[in-house]
């Protein structure tokens, strides 16, 4: 048997290549750029026969259609998905064999109606459970992403409770649990940094799973729906695209062009979004006025998805040599309207005499001192509801980063100090505010963590 896990840190996304003794393999929950799976299968002497989606993903565009097209594989997806692409629906009682490897399917709706879980068994191998977004390590999948289908969060949470009670909990304790996401994903709220666990460990440490074990459905549903915050707006765009199947990464990249500073200036003035992916310090020191800052080194794609409309035309500013990386990571979450990139980066912009915007900072210690003064700035906290509830600065205004675009009118006038957990999101928020005409703005580097140090 062959088993290769993959982990894409910027999306906190796990996918898997698993093969049997007959040389046939399956890829579970592939990312959009699929070349690595194809190469690894080839090098292992495997033919990809199946592409398995545990559900229609919302936080990234999957590579299921592209991978099936390139390999001739059959796509397996839970029944009643409404997917437009060719696939074999899985009701939950099926099994497939790949030589000595048996994959058994369990219908586990709750995160989505079509959710499935895969049990992989082979001789002299640990039994592995691929849980998708049904069961995470330390958490469960959020149940609030299918409102457009006419199902409430409470109804979906009930489905998830039933799935865990009837399908997951009866399985053997020693089974390994391999989910589709880890810490940092917006598909849950308390995900572990671990990549793999056992069902026994999850029973001992995973609070919502314990509530399901205890038969506390009311407590489980309350946990599942509380403190989530609004899902990033791009989730619904990506879920729809996954239902249809998207274009391949290379064809989208081919449409993006290198742009001269004068072209970038002209198009920016016409309203085209400029996305600055450089380090936050570089953005603060000098950026194209009106640019939105989302640092490439970090949870880049999800936070782009939280603040930029998914169909908006975008010009990328990156450190020289990282333009393709930035655009590929945008394409992974459904951003396909890529006009191009600033050729030569900010050095070229400066050499052409382009105007520069800046962003000031206020250190956490200085902010503490100012809070005792009547003229202190208003604190804007852009963390999640759960983070806010765990502790915040008294008198601060709370607007989660994913809601800031829609709630700009609620941001108080006057000087602002913007804070998040570590400084990543607050810089994004500051750039949004600058783009919308605010000027008396200071970023709090290090965020709440540094403030409480």
**pLDDT (tens digit per residue) in 202-242:** 999 999 999 999 999 999 999 999 988 778 888 989 999 99
**The pLDDT value given to residue 404:** 95
Distances from the Cα of 335 to the Cαs of 305, 307, 330, 446, in angstroms?
9, 12, 5, 29
Q: Would you say residue 401 has pLDDT above 60?
A: yes
Q: CA 389, CA 295: separation in Å to the nearest integer?
A: 26
**The pLDDT value given to residue 274:** 98
**The pLDDT value given to residue 453:** 84
Least confident stretch, 132-136, 183-187, 294-298, 329-333: 183-187
Rounded to two decimals, the pTM is 0.90
**pLDDT (tens digit per residue) in 282-309:** 999 999 999 999 999 988 988 999 899 9
**pLDDT (tens digit per residue) in 325-363:** 999 999 999 999 999 999 999 999 999 999 999 999 999
**pLDDT (tens digit per residue) in 22-52:** 999 999 999 999 999 999 999 999 999 999 9
Task: Give the pLDDT band of residue 148 (cuts 50, 70, 90).
Answer: low
**The pLDDT value given to residue 372:** 82
**pLDDT (tens digit per residue) in 52-89:** 999 999 999 999 999 999 999 999 999 989 999 999 99
Domains and CATH numbers, the chain: 2-236 (3.60.15.10), 247-351 (3.40.250.10), 360-451 (3.40.250.10)
Averaged pLDDT for residues 100-128: 97
């Amino acid at each position: 048997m062959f088993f290769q896990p993959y982990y894409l840190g910027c999306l906190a996304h796990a996918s898997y290549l698993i093969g049997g003794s007959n040389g046939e393999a399956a890829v579970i929950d592939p990312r959009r750029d699929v070349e690595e799976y194809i190469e690894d299968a080839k090098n292992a002497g495997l033919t990809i026969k199946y592409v398995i989606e545990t559900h229609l993903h919302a936080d990234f565009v999957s590579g299921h259609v592209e991978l099936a097209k390139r390999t001739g594989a059959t796509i397996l997806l839970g029944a009643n998905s409404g997917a437009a692409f060719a696939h074999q629906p899985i009701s939950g009682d099926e099994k497939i064999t790949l030589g000595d490897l048996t994959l058994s399917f369990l219908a586990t709706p709750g995160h989505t109606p079509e959710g499935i879980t895969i049990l992989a068994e082979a001789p002299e191998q640990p039994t592995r459970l691929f849980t998708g977004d049904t069961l995470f390590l330390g958490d469960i999948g959020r149940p609030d992403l299918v409102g457009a289908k006419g199902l409430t969060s409470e109804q979906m949470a009930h489905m998830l409770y039933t799935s865990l009670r009837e399908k997951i909990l009866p399985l053997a304790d020693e089974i390994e649990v391999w989910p589709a996401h880890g810490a940092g994903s917006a598909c849950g709220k308390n995900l572990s940094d671990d990549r793999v666990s056992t069902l026994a460990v999850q029973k001992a440490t995973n609070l919502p799973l314990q509530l399901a074990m205890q038969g506390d459905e009311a407590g489980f549903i309350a946990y599942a729906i509380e403190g989530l915050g609004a899902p990033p707006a791009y989730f619904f765009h990506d879920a729809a695209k996954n239902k249809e199947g998207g274009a391949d990464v290379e064809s989208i990249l081919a449409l993006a062009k290198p742009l001269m500073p004068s072209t970038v200036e002209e198009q920016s003035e016409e309203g085209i979004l400029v996305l600055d992916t450089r380090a936050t310090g570089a953005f603060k020191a000098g950026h194209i006025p009106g640019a939105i800052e989302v640092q490439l080194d970090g949870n880049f794609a999800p936070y782009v998805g939280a603040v930029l409309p998914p169909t908006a035309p975008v010009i990328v500013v990156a450190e020289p040599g990282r333009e393709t990386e930035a655009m590929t990571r945008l394409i992974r979450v459904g951003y396909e309207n890529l006009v191009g990139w600033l050729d030569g980066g900010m050095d070229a912009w400066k050499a052409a005499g382009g105007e520069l915007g800046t962003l000031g900072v206020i250190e956490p210690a200085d902010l503490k001192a100012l809070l005792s003064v009547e003229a202190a700035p208003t604190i804007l906290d852009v963390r999640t509801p759960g983070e806010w509830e765990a502790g915040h600065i008294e008198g601060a205004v709370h607007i989660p980063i994913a809601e800031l675009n829609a709630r700009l009118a609620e941001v108080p006038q006057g000087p602002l100090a913007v804070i998040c957990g570590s400084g990543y999101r607050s810089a994004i928020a500051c750039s949004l505010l600058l783009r919308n005409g605010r000027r008396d703005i200071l970023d709090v580097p290090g965020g709440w963590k540094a403030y409480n140090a």
